[in-house]
Structure 1
Amino acid sequence: MQKSLPRTSEITDASVGPGMMTWLVTPGVTPARFGTALASGADVVLLDLEDSVPAETKETAREAVLAFVGAQARRAEGPLLGVRINAARSAEGLRDVVALADFSSWPDLIVVPKVESARDIADVVRAARKAASETKVWALVESPWGVLALPGIVHTPGLAGVLFGAADYAAAAGCGLTSRAMWYPRSQLVTAAAAAGIPAVDSPYFDLDDQDGLRRDALEADELGFAGKVAVHPRQLKAITQAFAPSLHDVEEARAVLAAAAEADGAITTAGGVMVGPPLIKAARTVARRAGHNQSATTPAPRAS
């Protein structure tokens, strides 16, 4: 059997960002946790105004989130700060967009949930552009209808990336919230995103006490081609970071490919008995960059042989 090689992708490091592997979602109704989330080590901190906020506290959460975003506007370093608004075509979602439009400081990114067509995100993209904001807009796809509409969604002008929502998808599809049941929608999401040249980020793993299950799920997400994964608690971040960091074997293999390519000076060559051409060289460069970004991280999780 041919041994595995680093996966390649048309998604560049620039499109993914300096660090987009770990996303930590925090309820917008708990402002005391916002600062803790920023200090958690996550690449992206996502303040949630949607599912985790009861209807009667939507306005209070919105005010708390916008106040925190405004206070963090001049940060020189730290994670990206995002806000998940309510569904853009809902009453609360419209209130979220209006509040943002009236706000002088926008977050680094906005996540729009329940996306099932380009129309569901186009207004948010226009609002960000009108405000001359550098805010990136991401689509959260979490239904069978959203998966079927992915070719149109991912090519929406101004869309920065897509996320997968497994729990809502499973509820709508009437399937289990299991790895096997999620293979199809996850693969569809990654494929559509790659075709559009944007990154895809995987759904959270919801069992906080199952670290082994989280590791397996995160490793599978990395293998499928996701750029990162959402965490629902800070204690999940370490396992996700380890899963998405290149293994020592991956790094050594990538270095061997790059060394062989440099020596061949553009000609087709081999490394470790495997033919090396432009696609594998590109993949090796991606692995080397990812390893450099994670050189201070903990030891990567072992890959299955």
Structure 2
Amino acid sequence: MNRPTPQPLRAWLITPALHADRCEKAKSYGADVALADLEDSVASTDKATARAMAARFLYPAVGGGPVLGVRVNAPVTADGIRDLAAITGYPHQPGIVLVPKVESARDIEVVAGALDTDQHAPVIYALIETPRAIGRLSSIVTADRLGGLLFGAADYAALTGCARTWEALLYARSAVANAAGAAGIPAIDSPYFDVSDLEGLRREVECARALGFQGKGAVHPQQIPVLTQAFTPSEDEIATAQAVVAASHQTSAAVTTVGGRMVGPPLVAAAQAVVDQAASSPSPASRS
């Protein structure tokens, strides 16, 4: 399958495309992915203006920066069709396209069919935010051009009537992480919406990482350092992972021991993933 994935993916910042100044600043906050939003944050009467603004946003920042992309409207809507048509004419194509309200593999293939060219194919993420999408995850992840899943807690909670707490959303989050793992693609967690509660954010992101998520959305730039640190392997984690990988290379046996602990193929694979992630991250984080 054609699933190129930019790394790292720790912190995602989505900014309304209408706000040109905020979009430009979004490139400098240290997020790994910055998206211009054409969907929820833009009123119907402003969609055309937002599309024009998004084209300017996709000009790369001088000296590097985040992967730039766009959250389009659902491709089964008129605005979604207009978004895709507009993007084909952009001078710079998005690195990532986030597709909302995905409920079938066909949604992803429609976006790929509209945007893929011989010169460029964006990484397409499905925003999983409805009960129907949770029930159809096994089918959704069969889309050949699907690059990853992003969980949308706010819409899911509104549609099910559940609380927007970790406990109430644990089943949906686990389903998203499991489906992404089964398909070999990244899972990105929903934002934490209390901007003033950085300690609460830190606790939630550690739980998300433990479930298997590789990154998380941010609703404010001040959340980005917390996400970056939490999703970056610590020096101790890297050292342990390197020891496991090295030990596996030094034996022909399927199972060996490292530091008195038995290590088999699943743990070696997990350790290799940590080593690879560390190689793609600017620097290891110090976490207690």
Tell me by how many angstroms 1:125 deviates: 0.8
Structure 2 unaligned spans of 5+:
none
Aligned partner of 1:219 among 185, 206, 210: 206
In structure 2, C-alpha distance between the alignment counterparts of 1:276 and 1:125, rounded to whole Å: 41
**Identity across matched positions, percent:** 45
Matched, 1:184 2:171: yes
Give secondary structure in 2 for the equivalent of 1:157: coil
Output the amino acid matched with 1:166.
Answer: A
Q: Return the alpha-carbon distance in structure 2 between the equivalents of residues 211 and 17 of structure 1.
A: 27
In 1: Cα distance, 2:232 partner to 2:85 partner: 39
In the other structure, the counterpart of 2:32 is 43
What is aligned with 1:19? Answer: 8
SS at match of 1:23: strand
Residue number in structure 2 paired with 1:83 = 70
Residue 17 of structure 2 contacts residue 54 of structure 2 at CA under 8 Å; is this kept in 1?
Answer: yes
**Shift in Å at residue 27 of structure 1?**
1.0
Pick the aligned partner of 2:51 from 59, 62, 76. Answer: 62
Which amino acid is 2:52 matched to? E
Whichever residue aligns with residue 210 of structure 1, its letter is D
RMSD: 2.0
Q: Secondary structure at the match of 1:264?
A: coil
Which one scores higher on RCO, CA 8 angstroms, separation ≥ 6?
1
| In structure 1, distance between residues paired with 2:155 and 2:126 | 14
Check conservation: 1:15, 1:198, Cα contact below 8 A: no
Is 1:160–2:160 an aligned residue pair? no
Inter-partner Cα distance in structure 2 for 1:198 and 1:256: 26
TM-score by length of 2: 0.92
The match for 2:110 is 123
Question: Aligned residue for 2:94?
Answer: 107
Letter in 1 for 2:143: T
Where does the alignment leave 5 or more consecutive residues of structure 1 unmatched?
A: 1-13
1:293 alignment partner in structure 2: 280
Q: Report the count of equivalent residues.
A: 286
Residues 131-178 of structure 1 show CA distances to partners (whole Å, capped at 9, x for unaligned) of 742211111010100111111111112111111100000000110000
Partner of 1:272: 259
For 1:120, what is the secondary structure of its paired residue? helix
Task: Tell whether 2:80 aligns with 1:98.
Answer: no
Deviation at 1:33, TM superposition (A): 1.3
Structure 1 stretch displaced more, 53-62 or 282-291: 282-291
Residues 227-256 of structure 1: CA deviation (Å, up to 9, x unaligned)? 111111110011111111223442332233
Report the alpha carbon displacement of residue 76 of structure 1 after superposing the two structures with TM.
Answer: 6.9
Which residue of the other structure, out of 189, 194, 202, is the alignment partner of 2:189? Answer: 202
- Offset at residue 15 of structure 1 (A): 5.1
Alignment check: 8 A CA contact 2:255 2:264 kept: yes
Range that drifts further, 55-64 or 101-110? 101-110
- CA separation in 1, counterparts of 2:134 and 2:118? 30
TM-score computed with the length of structure 1 as normaliser: 0.87
| 2:13 aligned partner, one-letter code | L
Mapping for residues 169-180 of structure 1, pairs under 5 Å: 169-180=156-167
Query: What is the rounded CA distance, in whole Å, between the counterparts of 1:148 and 1:262 in structure 2?
Result: 41
Contact persistence 1:201–1:227 (CA under 8 A)? yes
Moved more, 81-90 or 16-25: 16-25
Cα pair 2:123 2:147 within 8 Å, conserved: yes
TM-fit CA distance, 1:127: 0.9
Contact 1:139–1:163, Cα closer than 8 Å, also in 2 = yes
Shift of 1:121: 2.2
- Aligned pair partner of 1:250 in 227, 231, 237: 237
Please, which moves more after superposition, 244-253 or 116-125?
Answer: 244-253
Distance 1:251 1:103, change over 3 A: closer
**CA 1:255–1:132 in 2, change beyond 3 Å: closer, same or farther?**
closer
SS state of the match for residue 180, structure 1?
Answer: coil
